[in-house]
Structure 1
């Protein structure tokens, strides 16, 4: 199965470099995406441009692909399910929850000179990054690409309720499945609250499991593809 890999803010397709060979060895075809504005030099890219790139990859797949969204890109994966509910085999959300209709894609980090730069490790101290050594932190930070404002502040538009029938797996790295269930029950993720097929996977690590536990993450993704 084709497994489309969408990294979160500031990351390009190389974020999945350690996951790709593991998925290939497990018999799948991983397709890491470098999004417009996050690695291709297009500083004027919009959220619509990024979604178009994801949908182009969905449409190019020979069958129904599994769409994986990490962190903020959980919303992009969910937007793909909304736009192609009959074409997407399932969605895996890694450490992220999809924004609701009418919300900003990523409105929680400040804009500087038309882009949202990587803010450093301060906002991620604790469970998010405790499993990353200094080498891993330096590697992520050095590869980080400022996200165009028109991406981060783009408004999410969801239109097809058939998305709720697309199977969803929520991978819980820096939080537990029990915490995720509590948040959803409390109304903090109205989209996942309406998902008809939602499974939880506990992956005890930090916010960047493609760096900290790539083999285990690949196994989780392969299992999701198999189901």
Structure 2
């Protein structure tokens, strides 16, 4: 599996390269800025990318804006954002795009190597990988849409947004698969979204709605 990394911290970039090479990934390019990342994506057409939000020269939002541009140029390009910061505007836009895997993890909250590797593989396969803190920040000041949900439905929604399937959600909440399916149906009905069980697209639809991007077409 071929990977392009956008990370200006040389030590972190080298550490990611060593780690991912050891578990079977092929790091085809490491870029220290947004321009280099876009060039690497065009040249290598990777299976998945890892992108920091803040890159030179201004260290504000160059990385995530480059990720959005890369997905416009290469629809379906899997992107895992790995950063210390939640850039709300562009994060919501990235997460609401359709096609291809997306993820957003916070560096300081990645506590286990195997979980990070699993998240990267899930994104590469077209799924989602979301840190709960990222979800919480994206939902700040947007409580109205989820006010109609019950506490249990909110728990289900949070686990959905992390990329978990119905069986995993059932195990986490100690409820049956049928109960999860019913809760998901209720969530989509209350939010005015098409009921679907088609993997990460349901998560992207919910996130798009909650972040004011607007409703997506039904899956």
Work out whether the TM-score is over 0.5: no
Length-normalised TM-score, structure 1: 0.40
Length-normalised TM-score, structure 2: 0.41
Task: Work out which of the two has the higher radius of gyration on C-alpha atoms and give 1 or 2.
Answer: 2
